[in-house]
Amino acid sequence: MFKLLLRRFFSLTLPLALICAAGFGLDWSALALADQAPPGAQIFELHCAGCHIHGGNIVRRNKTLKLKALQRNGMDNLTAISEIVLNGKGNMSAYQDRLTEAEIQSVAAYVLEQAEQGWK
């Protein structure tokens, strides 16, 4: 019975959702491009952006990912950024159990690149 209801629900709602999306001009190419973002950007969005949106810091205002703050705190290189992602520090959680070494390097490179570009 439940399977029948579920099947009926999706058979009615999926076409309606597609029609609405087409009617409201949903940009499917934007969704496709999100999947093509560099791995560092994807990891940042998934694990870091909650606290560091646009390179800021919602927990500690002076500990941003902006270039001047990174330089002031001695975090303006890949090794330092990778180290803090790996082991955490203060309010910053450690990600050694959640990310691979390659993912840590990728997100560190992304953070440094964005800082150098002004988080545009």
Reported as a single tens digit per residue, the pLDDT across 32-52 is 445 567 899 999 999 999 999
- Other C-beta atoms lying within 10 Å of the C-beta of residue 46: 13
Share of the chain above pLDDT 90, in %: 65
The Cα 34–Cα 36 span in angstroms is 5
**89 φ/ψ angles, rounded to the nearest 5 degrees:** -170, 130
**pLDDT in the model for residue 33:** 47
pLDDT band, residue 24 (cuts 50/70/90): low
Query: What is the residue extent of each domain of the chain?
Result: 1-36, 38-120
What is the Cα Rg of the chain in Å? Answer: 20
SS3 58: coil
pLDDT tens for residues 80-120? 999 999 999 999 999 999 999 999 999 999 999 999 999 98
User: In whole numbers, what is the pLDDT of the chain averaged over residues?
Assistant: 82
Overall fold of domain 38-120: Cytochrome Bc1 Complex; Chain D, domain 2 (1.10.760)
